[in-house]
Amino acid sequence: MAAPQIEVHDALDSTNAEARRRAESGEAGPLWIMALTQTAGRGRRGRAWETAHGNLAATLLFTTVLPPAEAAQVSFVAALAAADLADHYVGVGTAALKWPNDLMIDGRKAAGILVESGTRGDGALWLAVGMGVNLAHAPINLERPAIAFSDRLATPPPQPLEALGVLAESFEKWRNLWSESGFAPIARAWSARAYGLGQACEARLPNQTHRGIAEGLDDDGALRLRLADGAVLRITAGDVFFGGG
């Protein structure tokens, strides 16, 4: 994939929505779409995502010939890029990654990732990898406590476009590794920064809730949850909570 261009908008309803519109009109990317403000930002499972002034909201649009199940592994690539961004500005090792792709600092969420996709007329898959990073401000959320980079900095946080430059460069590093070597090195790198592995957790699925010990990733990125009876449940979609968050 060629180095993506960066396109900056003062305001959009949602960078992922704009990526979808562009993909459906024939845009193949690679292209980063960034908005200084979003009027209808959203996160996983349809939740609203607040983009306060000074925070980063951007979506990478590109195409792939991978089947959808493998293409979805890009969320772990994006998570590693977000961790690198935190390393760069907040401090190496400050952040951890909560399955599947939340960036955590001090046990609170600092960034989220939303991957959407669709099939092009030529049979290829378009991917929209949306990333929201709390650079300057953290939203108030009692169920999912949040934090901003600025909460850990003695100096002003980076401007969104500057941060996107760092993020985009890191994303390409991890994407190239994924493309050349498959998911295994991505899974190892993600696991090395994992939040909560070996701890008790609650997995909330669309129609049921399970409790157990988070053991690690399967080869495809699913979370292995060891239940009280010793059985291992593969979690492929849902929300995972450790302790208070």
DSSP of 73-120, one letter per residue? THHHHHHHHHHHHHHHHT-TT-EEEETTTEEEETTEEEEEEEEEEEE-
Record: fold of 200-241: SH3 type barrels. (2.30.30)
Domain positions in the chain = 5-192, 200-241
Distance CA(6)–CA(88), nearest Å, equals 20
pLDDT tens series, the chain, 245 aa: 677 999 999 999 999 999 999 999 999 989 999 999 988 766 554 455 566 789 999 999 999 999 998 999 999 999 999 999 999 999 999 999 999 889 999 999 999 999 999 998 888 899 999 999 999 999 886 567 899 999 999 999 999 999 999 999 999 999 999 999 999 999 999 999 999 888 898 998 888 899 999 998 888 888 999 999 999 999 888 888 886 54
- Evaluate whether the domain defined by 5-192 bears CATH number 2.40.160.20: no
The set of residues, in sequence order, having a beta carbon less than 8 Å from that of 159 and lying 6+ positions away, is 54
Q: Are 41 and 57 in contact (CB under 8 A)?
A: yes
Burial of residue 180 (CB within 10 Å: 0-12, 13-18, 19+) is exposed
Query: What is the bridge-based pairing of β-strands 200-204 and 239-241?
Result: antiparallel
Burial of residue 169 (CB within 10 Å: 0-12, 13-18, 19+) is middle
**Report field, pTM of the whole predicted structure over 0.85:** yes
Distance CA(96)–CA(156), nearest Å, equals 22
